[in-house]
Amino acid sequence: MKSANLVIALTKGRILEETLPLFAAADIVPIEDITQSRKLLFDTNVETVKLMVIRGSDVPTYVEFGSADMGVAGKDLILEHGGDGFYEPLDLQIAKCRLMTAGPVTDQSDSDVLKVATKFTNIAKRYYAEQGRQVELIKLNGALELAPSLGLADAIVDIVDTGKTLKANGLEPKHLISYISSRVIVNKASMKIKNVIIRDTLSKLSTAVKAN
């Protein structure tokens, strides 16, 4: 796969639906319907550009280790992964939300050690360390909103969009950790080796973002 081709890793799901029109505006279009295929690697109208469609949490890893030259991933996943292994040159301004702490409307925790449920354990660890708060982190990949009501955790760290799911489960947003949107990331070696095509692609995407 690593050849003269430019391989771009895209995040599957809702983000993909918002990403593809930006790439189309940048003159990069898959030659088949990505949303209806089980394939993971797709040719495009540009002979030297291929699109890879994978889980968002895997995009930073593929880009860092060079299996993909570029990628599109949420800022939450970039923060969780750690961004030292790649560049982050462009905010696509899509899939916007907030990464926040949340907890019961009436906070009844009086323990010195806060129990926090999250799938973003690295982010939570850094955040609470900066706050000087001692925490016990509980890794969950879903149904985080249930953790406080069932006594598993005092608080959660999660993505908040409208906040309706939190409210329905007796929780409320507490503290903002970071604003989230989808970003373009670039492998550091690829930026040197394939500089011309990467910069051209970034320029076109940037123009598409401004027009959007």
pLDDT digits (tens, 9 = 90+) for 166-195: 999 999 999 999 999 999 999 999 999 999
Alpha carbon distance 66, 7 (integer Å): 9
Q: What is the pLDDT of residue 192?
A: 96
Rounded to a whole number, what is the largest CA-CA distance in the chain? 61
Residue 60, pLDDT score: 98
Q: Taking Cα atoms as reference points, which of 170, 135, 119 lies closest to residue 149?
A: 170
pLDDT in tens, 27-63: 999 999 998 888 999 999 999 999 999 999 999 999 9
Q: Which domains does the chain carry? A: 6-95+181-211 (3.40.190.10), 98-179 (3.40.190.10)
Task: Say if residue 2's pLDDT is above 70.
Answer: no
Spatial strand order of the sheet with 114-118 comes to 135-139, 114-118, 155-160, 97-104, 171-180
Distance, CA of 30 to CA of 205 (rounded, Å): 15
In DSSP terms, 117 is beta-bridged to 138, 156
Instruction: State mean pLDDT over 3-27.
Output: 92
For residue 16, give the 3-state DSSP assignment: helix
Cβ contacts of residue 136 below 8 Å, gap of 6+? Answer: 113, 114, 115, 116
Nearest to 103 by CA among 135, 57, 141: 135
Question: Is it the case that residue 3 has pLDDT exceeding 60?
Answer: no
> Tokens at residue 29, please?
């279009």
- pTM, whole model, 2 decimals? 0.90
